[in-house]
Amino acid sequence: MSKFEKILDKLFRGSSDSNFAFDDLILILKNLGFDFRVKGSHNIFYKEGIDEIINLQSKSGKAKPYQVRQVRNILLKYKIVGK
């Protein structure tokens, strides 16, 4: 299992939303083909065919739990990955 697959599995298990590395969440979105821009501390991700934008900010190197849930829900809603 690759590093990407392990991180994706961790995201979908949902057992560690409050302890999810910010860089890992960024890695998932980049590998899934999301475009992004950075404006200050805001990392804004978007993708054609997806109505929502994803706005992420780091908190001491960790992703905020609600942002982890948001990413998981968007990936499931748009069936971007086969989970």
Q: Report pLDDT digits (tens) over 44-53.
A: 999 999 999 9
First CA to last CA distance, the chain:
16
Q: How far apart are CA 72 and CA 8, in angstroms?
A: 9
User: Which pair of structure tokens corresponds to residue 21?
Assistant: 């590395």
Answer yes or no: is pLDDT of 82 > 80: no
Q: What is the mean pLDDT of residues 32-47?
A: 97
- State which CATH number among 3.30.920, 1.10.3470, 1.10.760, 3.40.190 fits the domain covering 3-77: 3.30.920
Specify whether the CB–CB gap between 55 and 43 falls below 8 A. Answer: yes
Q: What is the mean pLDDT of residues 41-61?
A: 96
Specify whether the CB–CB gap between 43 and 57 falls below 8 A. Answer: yes
What does pTM read for this prediction? 0.93
Place of tokens 């994706």: 8
For the chain, domain boundaries: 3-77
